[in-house]
A = this chain, B = another copy of it.
Amino acid sequence: MSKNSSYILKDRVIPKGILVAIGGKEDKKYDLHILSTILSLVKKQNKTIEIITTATQHPEITGREYYKIFTKDIKNTVGLMHISTREQADDLELLKRISEADVIFFTGGDQLRITSILGGSRIEKEILRRYENEFCIIAGTSAGASAMSKTMICGGDSSEALRKGTINVSTGIGLIDNAIIDTHFVERGRFSRLMQIVSMNPSNIGIGLGEDSGIIIEGGCILRAIGSGITVIIDGQHLKYTNVANIDSDESIAIENLIIHTIVNGYGYNLFEKKYLKPDDLKKMNLIESEVNTNENN
């Protein structure tokens, strides 16, 4: 992406890395649309991919599944990182591998495992440093996507989610600081929990990733949807009123004027300008090429 692009604000640091956040249950059997799109963002033949299984309690099984997919192209070098302790998260050998990977992929599981094990570690710092300063792909699915945002949803029953205090929030890795990512979104009906979080601080954009749905985030701001499902965007910038500061815990939340969009494969969203992007808008931008089909659903 050109640094001269009009949508880049001058007072922001534009990260050189690219994020791919996936809502979980991405296709692993058929066309592998999302997973192959991730690899296609790296414009070289011999790609190095590191799979971090920290989120899951079953690192061997989960890791092997992705290992098989990413090694289908035998030119790729794929490593598994079963980091399950804070000591391992500071390990210098693993750190070196992170510093050299083209793609760092976080599996699903529990996002609190990611943050409690990696939070503040050398590996987390190196991921953040690389994301800001070097071209690299940082991808994550389900918990691996949720942990990307600075404000991270880590619990809360969607059916109770418009009652004050029913959603648990913690601090994520912080690759994104102006948006909050939720996953399995449409399938688990999680609208209300993201609405609560956005209404509590409308400066955040809520990103609800459906299953087999993902977004490529370029320059820290331009989202492009990939996959077969839906990504929901909840924008609080025009919020006119909420009672959330005036009610007791567990009381119902009144909210006036949230804006909601859905984006599907080929559509996008500008996080800084809070602007919906149609396939034609995306084509005009100098974005990295991928296997994303921007014509589908047009």
A residues with CB within 8 A of B: 158-159, 161-162, 186-192, 195, 210, 228-230, 240-241, 243, 246-247, 251-265, 267, 276, 278, 297-298
Contacts and interface: CB of A to CB of B under 8 A. Distances in A.
Contacts of A267: 254
Q: Number of copies of this chain in the oligomer?
A: 2
Given A186-B161, A189-B158, A191-B192, A252 B276 contact: no
10 contacts: A159-B186, A188-B189, A191-B192, A195-B260, A243-B298, A251-B264, A254-B264, A256-B261, A256-B276, A257-B276
Contacts of A253: 230, 262, 264
A19 to B, nearest CB: 21
**Majority SS of interface residues in chain A?**
loop
Which 5 pairs across A and B sit closest by C-beta, in order of nearness? A189-B189, A191-B191, A252-B264, A159-B187, A256-B276
Contact of A162 (B162, B230, B254, B298): B230
Nearest to A267: B254
A263 to B, nearest CB: 6
